[in-house]
């Protein structure tokens, strides 16, 4: 690769302005660490991209601890009930009153991102939109740099002491890892969801999980006027394959609208197809390059853990970088990976368990009578066993 024009330098170059990059950027900046965030997209897109929306109690505490929770406190809504609907009827779990008694805060991820962005910029943070990281270079030499390309095609370099790869699943951080430097543990869960955003009020006061022989259907409130729905579909289904009417009819059918009440219909304003896959990278570091959020590992959306892990990792990395850069203490950086990985694997384990629960009759083993019976037993113990419910609540809200 050519040398490229020098576009600047920072002690920490952060790739990506998602939840991971922006939590990290704010914490570094608050401590006086010299950093710059490079973001491929333009500002408008970063602020409006609809993604997840369920924040765990632990995430809310991290944001509160660092004064990053103002919007969340003002506009987030506490949530603590989920409802399962199956061929045997429905049951609710008041998970906010089980386990550790913790709840979710429902707050659209684009609002959190927008809050974090405003705060970072208002405090004089350096952030370059429309600047794509192409590659992280020399991460193992002590003189790393990031090759970048602007939207108009100009190219250049940023020099760094450390690079934080917060640029998601298809970012430059992952691409720049040399063969064999980091081990990847991939998993394809064999299930595909059509993710939908409806301009419609929630249809129930709970997260709804319908497990149906035609496939899973999910309902998650986002706000008083926007609701997220999921519909399991065949792998390879194009996002636009189903008409709006067919989607609502299918949601009605799988969620048992006849028995349990109709769904509030509205215009479907966004749709996308997600193959449920996961992976974990180990370790979360290659020399001066650290992996955070989706760049560190993908987690299926079945238990809404992705953004929560991203925030947890960003805080851990910020602590390590601050200790090293301001106090010359490398321990936090050296232990970053070992500190995060057990939490990541526990979240993966729970998400994997949820996938089994939500796709019993329609998943990979759905046709096997033995697995069908096992799945019913699993649901039954969740419905009737208090200790099972406490376990569920602890893992469902926790990270």
Among 40, 119, 254, 271, binds ligand APR (CB under 6 A): 40
Q: By CB under 6 A, is residue 86 in contact with ligand APR?
A: no
Q: By CB under 6 A, is residue 310 in contact with ligand APR?
A: yes
Q: Which of 82, 74, 76 is nearest to 59 (CA)?
A: 76
Please report which helix (H) or strand (E) contains residue 296, including its range. none
Q: Which of 337, 339, 314, 290 is nearest to 139 (CA)?
A: 290
Among 115, 132, 250, 324, binds ligand APR (CB under 6 A): 132
Q: Which stretch binds ligand APR (CB under 6 A): 167-175, 249-257, 353-361, 362-370?
A: 167-175
Instruction: Please say whether the beta carbons of 110 and 118 come within 8 A.
Output: no
Q: Which stretch binds ligand APR (CB under 6 A): 152-160, 162-170, 265-273, 381-389?
A: 162-170
How far is it, in rounded angstroms, from Cα 266 to Cα 274? Answer: 22
Q: By CB under 6 A, is residue 111 in contact with ligand APR?
A: no
Catalytically annotated residue among 209, 229, 230, 336: 209
Q: Report the residue number, 12 or 17, with the smaller CB distance to ligand APR.
A: 17
Q: Which of 195, 219, 227, 258 is nearest to 92 (CA)?
A: 219
Q: Report the residue number, 98 or 344, with the smaller CB distance to ligand APR.
A: 344
Q: Which of 321, 4, 38 is nearest to 161 (CA)?
A: 321
Catalytically annotated residue among 19, 79, 107, 229: 79
Number of residues that bind ligand APR (CB under 6 A): 27
Report the sign of the C-alpha dihedral through residues 347, 349, 351, 353, in that order: negative
**Quick check: is 305 catalytic?**
yes
Instruction: Please say whether the beta carbons of 225 and 201 come within 8 A.
Output: yes
* Distance (Å) of CA 10 to CA 1, 249, 258: 21, 54, 60
Q: Report the residue number, 211 or 280, with the smaller CB distance to ligand APR.
A: 280
Footprint of ligand APR on 266-305 (CB under 6 A): 293-294
Q: Whole-number minimum distance, CB 244 to ligand APR, in Å?
A: 24
Please enumerate in sequence order all residues whose Cβ is within 8 A of that of 4, keeping only pairs 6 or more positions apart, or say none. 147, 148, 155, 156, 157
Q: Whole-number minimum distance, CB 137 to ligand APR, in Å?
A: 14
Q: How many Cβ atoms sit within 10 Å of the Cβ of residue 327?
A: 9
Q: Whole-number minimum distance, CB 153 to ligand APR, in Å?
A: 15
**Quick check: is 342 catalytic?**
no
**Quick check: is 258 catalytic?**
no
How far is it, in rounded angstroms, from Cα 2 to Cα 88? Answer: 64
The residues of the shown chain that bind ligand APR, judged by CB under 6 A, are 15-21, 38-41, 46, 51-52, 109, 132-133, 166-168, 171-172, 293-294, 306-307, 310
Which residues are known catalytic residues? 79, 209, 301, 305, 396
């Amino acid at each position: 690769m050519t040398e490229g024009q020098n576009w600047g330098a920072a002690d920490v170059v952060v790739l990506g302005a998602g939840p991971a990059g922006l939590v990290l950027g704010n914490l570094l900046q608050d401590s006086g660490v010299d950093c710059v965030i490079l973001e491929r997209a333009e500002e408008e897109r970063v602020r409006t991209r609809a993604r997840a929306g369920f924040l765990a109690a632990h995430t809310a505490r991290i944001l509160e601890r660092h004064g990053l929770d103002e919007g969340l406190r003002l506009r987030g809504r506490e949530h603590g009930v989920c409802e399962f609907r199956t061929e045997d009827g429905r049951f609710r779990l008041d998970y906010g009153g089980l386990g550790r008694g913790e709840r979710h805060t429902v707050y659209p991820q684009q609002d959190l991102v927008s809050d974090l962005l405003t705060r970072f910029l208002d405090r004089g943070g350096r952030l370059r939109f429309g600047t794509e990281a192409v590659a992280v270079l020399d991460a193992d030499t002590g003189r790393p740099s990031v090759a970048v390309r602007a939207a108009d095609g100009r190219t250049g370099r940023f020099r760094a002491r450390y690079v934080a790869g917060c640029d998601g699943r298809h970012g430059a951080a992952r691409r720049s890892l040399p063969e064999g430097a980091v081990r990847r543990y991939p998993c394809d869960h064999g299930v595909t969801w059509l993710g939908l955003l409806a301009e419609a009020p929630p249809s129930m006061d709970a997260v709804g999980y319908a497990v149906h022989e035609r496939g899973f259907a999910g309902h998650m409130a986002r706000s008083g006027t926007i609701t997220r729905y999921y519909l399991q579909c065949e792998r390879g289904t194009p996002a636009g394959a189903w008409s709006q009417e067919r989607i609502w009819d299918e949601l009605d059918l799988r969620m048992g609208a006849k028995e349990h009440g109709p769904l509030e219909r509205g215009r479907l304003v966004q749709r996308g197809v997600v193959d449920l896959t996961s992976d974990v990278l180990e370790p979360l570091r290659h020399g001066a390059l650290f992996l955070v959020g989706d760049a560190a590992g993908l987690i299926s959306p079945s238990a809404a853990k992705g953004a929560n892990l991203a925030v947890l990792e960003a805080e851990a990395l910020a602590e390590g970088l601050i200790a090293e850069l301001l106090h010359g203490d490398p321990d936090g950086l050296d232990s970053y990976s070992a500190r995060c990985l057990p939490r990541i694997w526990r979240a993966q384990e729970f998400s994997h368990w949820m996938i089994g629960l939500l796709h019993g009759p329609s998943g990979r083993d759905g046709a096997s009578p033995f697995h069908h019976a096992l799945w019913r037993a699993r649901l039954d113990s969740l419905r009737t066993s208090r200790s099972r419910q406490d376990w569920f609540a602890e893992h469902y809200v926790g990270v």
